[in-house]
Amino acid sequence: MKEHSGPSDAAADTDLLRRALGTFATGVTVVTVGGETPHAMTANSFTSVSLDPPLVLVCVEHSAVMHSSLLARGTFGVSVLAAHQEPVARQFASRLRPLGLAQFDAVDWRPGRLTGAPLIEGALAHLECGLWRSYDGGDHTIFVGTLLSVEKQADSDAVVFFRGRFRQLSPDLPAQR
Ligand SMILES: Cc1cc2nc3c(=O)[nH]c(=O)nc-3n(C[C@H](O)[C@H](O)[C@H](O)COP(=O)(O)O)c2cc1C
């Protein structure tokens, strides 16, 4: 039987909400800010918004360290993670990691040319963004960034997040005749 929840139950049943929304497969990014106390956070809420002007967004929970770091810095970087970078995603999602530069100890990165935001080596793409607008998103803030620089890196596959787990893409099916 299908699990069903009416409009009024939906908000109350966070477990059902999580499981239903977790069926939307996403890529995985690491959002970073530079400066004296650099910071990084794994995020799958990253979305492209507009080509002209070029805008992207990321939703950050109010309680995340990234929330105040991003507001204070006003610029951020985004690294789109490749298939082999699941450990990187886990590192920057862990509440146990140290803060500041030490959280990057086990990761290869370089500072973005325009913002100083750490960009993760081996990622599929690197973006540098200026904070354009921010919007109330309930327990998250929706940060919209204007693109300052874009670099496409490797051509390899992405790591995917689906139903609360990291996944790998399946090889392409043979073309149908
Ligand atoms: C795959 C994945 C995606 C995530 N996406 C987001 C996200 O988009 N926004 C968010 O606020 N937290 C997201 N998180 C949770 C944060 O990465 C996690 O809470 C992190 O510890 C916050 O770091 P900070 O408080 O040190 O900034 C995600 C976690 C995982 C594993």
Whether 175 maps to a domain, the answer reads no
**How much distance in Å is there from the Cα of 173 to the middle of ligand 1?**
32
Range of the domain at 153: 15-164
Q: Are 109 and 150 in contact (CB under 8 A)?
A: no
Q: Is residue 172 part of a domain?
A: no
Summarize pLDDT for 117-148 with one digit per residue, the tens: 999 999 999 999 999 999 999 999 999 999 99
Q: What is the atom index within ligand 1 of the atom nearest the CA of 97? A: 26
Instruction: Note whether residue 127 is domain-resident.
Output: yes
Residue bearing the CA closest to ligand 1, atom 19: 93
Domain membership of residue 150 (yes or no) is yes
Q: How far is the CA of 51 from the centre of ligand 1 (A)?
A: 26
Strands (E), 1-96: 26-27, 29-33, 39-43, 47-51, 54-61, 75-80
Shortest-distance atom of ligand 1 to CA 64 = 25
> Ligand 1: distance of its center to the CA of 176 in Å?
39
92/29 Cα distance (integer angstroms)? 10
Q: What pLDDT, in 10s, does the model give residues 10-43?
A: 566 899 999 999 999 999 999 999 999 999 999 9
Q: Is residue 48 in some structural domain?
A: yes
Q: Whose CA is nearest to atom 20 of ligand 1?
A: 93
Ligand 1 atom having least distance to the Cα of 166: 1
**Total tally of structural domains belonging to the chain:** 1
pLDDT digits (tens, 9 = 90+) for 55-112: 999 999 999 999 999 999 999 999 999 999 999 999 999 999 999 999 999 999 999 9
CA of 175 to the centre of ligand 1 (A): 37
Classify residue 3: in a domain, yes or no.
no
45 lines ligand 1 (CB under 6 A): yes
pLDDT for residue 6 is more than 60: no
> What CATH code is carried by the domain that includes residue 34?
2.30.110.10
Q: Which amino acid is at 49?
A: V
